Amino acid sequence: MHVIAVLALDGVVGFDLTVPCQVFGSTLLADGARAYDVRVHGSSSPVKVTAAGLELYQMSTSWRMESARRAGTIVVPGVACPFDPIPRQTLEVLRAAVANGTRVLSICTGAFTLGQAGLLDGRRATTHWLRADELAARNPEVCVDPSALFVGDGTVFTSAGVAAGIDLCLHIVEMDHGSAVAAETARRVVASLRRDGGQAQYIDRPLYAGTDTPLGPTLGWLAENLADAITLKDIAAHASVSVRTLTRRFHRDLGTSPSQWLLSIRIRRARELLETSSLSVEQVASMSGFGSAAALRQHFVGQVGSSPQTYRRSFTTTGDGRP
DNA sequence: ATATTAAGCCGCCATT
DNA sequence: AAAATGGCGGCTTAAT
């Protein structure tokens, strides 16, 4: 069985530690067997477990750090003080793992640990958006994308703050076992298999990205009114700026154009409706701001890679919805 | 599938 | 002086 080794470093963020355990541990194959053997590896002495910088409790692990070498996948959760030096042995384990092709995931500030091991050099990566600048500053060889939910480059995957770890783990499940198994896992942990539109999950953006920008209120308004026909002028009027300035701000703060952003949140809404309701495709189209089922279908295929019906089927039957 | 409108995008430049 | 803004126009993209 594929072994997942989750590293419990001192000061580990409890949530980051347990998310991969919960997601991978909840993954069942079609025959009901567990898909992964999840193990938590740590030093022989107890480690501190934290949340939001607070020390919660101490924990001892059954598996030693050294034996993580033999895992198929290593998960590196964030720690409370990501700039503190990581023990040399841990860095060695990580370097050896990447060298022999073992898959390595980081969650939140776990990216700093990978950075200390030198594993991000020349790669694309992400981390918690509050720490993205620091990651880029400390690792000049790394291409940091602060707006991505998660980023994969070769066998090294990094994910953004806290909850994005769930998205990354589900993505891994989908890569390993297909969308049907991943969708079932998402249901078990009560998460969404895909949180956002975009044809590549690698460029998915969290909806709350940019909330701290001048566009924040406009994005909220867009999300609430996405079912209506909205033109660029409408958005600009709401933001009280010209169309030209609006498009510029979208590019600066979100890296995309207004209509592309609107399209992505409409697709996201359509996905939710397809996943969780039995509304007709026409109704889904209407409620997610598409003028017709044909328009929804066209964009859905372009963004998601499958038709609305096929996508829904992958959530409601055991069939694999992949094309 | 193709055509024909409308809408959106973005470089450029003057203005604030 | 530097940065943000907004209008114009040509070009691309989307809707029907």
**Encoded tokens for A77:** 């959760």
Nearest nt to A231, CA vs C1'? B7
CB burial class (10 A; 0-12, 13-18, 19+) of residue A139?
buried
Residue type, position A270, single letter: A
| Tens of each residue's pLDDT in chain A, 323 residues | 899 999 999 999 999 999 999 999 999 987 888 999 999 999 989 999 999 889 999 999 999 999 999 999 999 999 999 999 999 999 999 999 999 989 999 999 999 999 999 999 888 888 887 888 888 889 888 888 776 788 888 889 999 877 889 889 988 887 788 767 777 788 787 776 655 533 333 333 444 444 456 667 788 788 888 888 888 888 888 888 888 898 888 887 777 788 888 888 888 888 878 877 788 888 888 888 888 888 888 888 777 777 788 778 766 654 443 44
Cα A44 to Cα A141: distance, rounded to the nearest angstrom: 34
Tens of pLDDT, residue by residue over A63-101, are: 999 999 999 999 999 999 999 999 999 999 999 999 998
Task: Give the pLDDT confidence of A249-267 residue by residue, as tens digits.
Answer: 888 777 778 888 888 888 8
Active site residue A169: no
Residue–nucleotide distance: A292 CA to C16 C1' (Å)? 11
Q: Which of A21, A108, A143, A169 is catalytic?
A: A108
DSSP 3-state of A278: coil
